[in-house]
Amino acid sequence: MAATGTATRAANPAAGWAGSGQVSGRTGDTVDWITRFGLVATVALLFAISGGMLWLVGYNYDGLTGNPATKIHPSTYLLVLVFAWRACTFGNPIGYMVAVADRRPASALMAVISIVLLVVVVARQRPGMAGMIDTFVAPALLVMMLAEDDEKTFARMQTVVHAIMTVNALLALFEFATKTLIFPYRLDGEVFMSDLRSTALQGHPLSNATVTSIYVLALLSGSRSLSMPLRLGLIGLQFAALVAFGGRSAMVLTIVLGGCYLLIQGLRGLRTGRVNLLGAALGLILAALVPVVIAVAAAYGFFDALLERFVSDSGSANARVEMFELFKHFELRDLIVGPDIDLIESLRRISGLEQGIENPIIRMVLYQGAFFTLLLFVGFALFMHEVARRCHAGIWLLMLGWLILLNTSESLASKTTLMTKFVVIALVLYRPARVVVGQRAREPGDGQPKGLPLRR
């Protein structure tokens, strides 16, 4: 027995750190109920609580002023607490961190890179402190915690995501119809009354559009636990909400990628001869009803706001051209380490970029420097690859849509919870079927049986 234990530690150095801490050996029930409840509650807070809601209780999340502690989303705080609880109940906190980092190395790497850059940002007194935590640390921490593959946690997360996104779409349509924003986007308490696009539960209209677009793509190529009629109904509801949010890039991308995916799947079905008659009949009925629905919606002015967004974009297209002109004012040395912040802010306002620099790479190079941007880009690429490996084959559609949408706004270059939401949608709605080998459940892409201790 002693020889076996010695051999195990020699083969896997992390085993020595883990000590006696273990996870339950029952497949599908690997974490305690507090951890499971905490992770599900984290997802619920993440998708359901916006900055506009937080302002109503005195929590200035989106603003520039106020207590620095309020610049971090409550879901991130809860996630850290759940991680600490799980590490303590594991038996050896250090062993737990080493074990989950060993299971998800790219996530651990991105968390470490983000924390190091956070220290650098604070030391250099540059903007983006909270952004490093909410934007990069939170999703990495969540992926590491989900490495334990607790089936009940994933099932409940899936229910929460579908329920909240449905409520989000219904609320968006209600706001669109009544021209009344329930939880309007606020910056230091100020509501932009000229922008009546729906804000629903996600806060800013563009954040809503991004998350909704990603969710629609996930309903198309993922969410295999849902029946086809239910998926089609949710897709129709979410696409209607996209119009209410007014995100042009998200709408165009959803139509193009979604249409291409359906075409590919249809041709594949015809080529193999495996055509579901019920699904085909339902599809033909829906196709026949589409013109009627469009005509009725147009008669009630449903597309007026959408057309207005395409005709008048509030200078958004011009901003995407002007942002490249900023590089002419800096030397290469300044761009590598990050130019002077006051100079950037002055040039941005002079160039008419008051709403921000609508590209994450360019914004990050200008505010943090090319070196740190490259470091984060490498961590992000490895992280995305690791997430994709834990999903079934249809994830390519979601990944492609996600990477395109990222480059249409500041996105990851500013404080946002978008990447954490993407990670949840990807891992929960694209969870691969488990292959049972004997009494041990394995997941494609993993070399270690699930439902066993992370390390003995």
SS3 90: coil
Q: What is the pLDDT of residue 30?
A: 76
In angstroms, the CA 104 to CA 33 distance is 23
Q: pLDDT averaged over the chain?
A: 81
Specify the residue for token string 């590089």.
327
Q: Average the pLDDT over 431-443 and give the result.
A: 56
pLDDT at 368 over 90: no
Please report, for the chain, the start and end positions of each structural domain, with discontinuous segments joined by +. Answer: 28-302+357-432
Neighbouring residues of 239: CB distance < 8 A, sequence distance ≥ 6: 216, 254
Q: What is the pLDDT of residue 61?
A: 92
Q: Average the pLDDT over 260-264 and give the result.
A: 86
Highest mean predicted confidence (pLDDT) among 13-22, 423-432, 438-447: 423-432
Q: What is the pLDDT of residue 174?
A: 95
Categorize the per-residue pLDDT at 284 as very low, low, confident or very high, splitting at 50, 70 and 90: low
In angstroms, the CA 18 to CA 5 distance is 13
Categorize the per-residue pLDDT at 305 as very low, low, confident or very high, splitting at 50, 70 and 90: low
pLDDT at 347 over 60: yes
Q: Which residues pair with 436 in a beta bridge?
A: 441
Q: What is the pLDDT of residue 283?
A: 64
Categorize the per-residue pLDDT at 287 as very low, low, confident or very high, splitting at 50, 70 and 90: low
Q: Average the pLDDT over 279-287 and give the result.
A: 65
Residue 436: CB atoms within 10 Å: 10
Q: What is the pLDDT of residue 298?
A: 60
In angstroms, the CA 161 to CA 216 distance is 12
Pure H helices in 125-150: 129-131, 138-145
In angstroms, the CA 97 to CA 14 distance is 10
CB-neighbour burial class of residue 254 (10 A; exposed 0-12, middle 13-18, buried 19+): buried
Asked if residues 417 and 73 have their Cβ atoms less than 8 Å apart, the reply is: yes
Pure H helices in 125-204: 129-131, 138-145, 151-178
Q: What is the pLDDT of residue 142?
A: 96
Neighbouring residues of 225: CB distance < 8 A, sequence distance ≥ 6: 158
pLDDT at 421 over 50: yes
